[in-house]
Amino acid sequence: MKKLFRTIKRYLRVYRMLLRLNLNTLFAYRANFINSATANTVWAIFVIVMMLLLTSKASNIYGWTRYELLVMAGTYNIIFSIFYFFFSRNFGEFSNNIHFGRLDAYLTKPIDIQFLMSCMHVSYTHIIRFFLGTGFVIYILHKMQAVVTPLSVLYFAFFVILSVIIMYSLWLTVITLTIWYTKLSNLVDLLYESHNVSRYPQEIYKGASVYVFYALFPLTLIVTVPAKAILQKILLGDILWPIVFAVVLFVISRKFFRYALRSYTSASG
């Protein structure tokens, strides 16, 4: 147990250092900071405006009221801002690290390679999108006169964390393919596009074929379940599936990444 605590403390110390380095870089390139902050603000507003337009002529879509769908739009901004804050830039650099041989240097470090490649970069400007999403959800819940309890907030936070784990695991599994195929950098673009699936309620996809629905099922959980939690519409099945997928997908992605590293022959190979 003491060894575990020492390891956790060591990794937290390393991560604090990475946070500090990323913050220094952010202030060193202020033009990039302004551009990124503007882009995040625009994207957060775009998601909300699109949902407003979608629901402008319909008061109910697949059992979701207009206000509930707007809560879902805000939840989408919250979840994806957290994921982008911690991980997206690292996955964007993943194929470049392999293609240009930077993975060789990472492998020599006395620290877990998955941790290092997943947490090297932090995108601070996504905090803006997080606060915009949070503020919008609070505003819509107030407009709905919804009863929000401490338990529903805890459920919401718990399922947001599970959603981020599911997204991380899916991204890691797909991006790991670049260890064998280093030129597949467009996989990142494909993963960004896949996020559109999670923007809408799970019920929308039940009209598709069985194969399509189950292929998209993990993605449909990412936003739908946390939104149901804060709206207190959550059912037993809604609770179990995110837990199962978060644990199983994380273990699979971890094992797949470790397996792929055995095939890595360095930049010269």
pLDDT, one tens digit per residue, over 85-101 is 999 889 888 877 877 77
Q: Which residues contact 119 (CB under 8 A, 6 or more apart)?
A: 15, 18, 86, 87, 90
Q: What is the pLDDT of residue 141?
A: 94
pLDDT digits (tens, 9 = 90+) for 222-264: 999 999 999 998 888 788 999 999 999 999 999 999 999 888 7
Q: Which amino acid is at 66?
A: R
Residues 168, 257: Cα–Cα separation, whole Å: 12
pLDDT of residue 213: 61
Residue from 107, 227, 250, 116 nearest 173 by CA = 250
The span from the CA of 214 to the CA of 208, in Å, is 10
**pTM confidence score:** 0.90
Average pLDDT of span 98-124: 85
Amino acid at 98: I
Q: Which two tokens stand for residue 89?
A: 């830039």
For the chain, what's the residue count?
269
Cα dihedral across residues 156, 161, 164, 169: positive or negative: negative
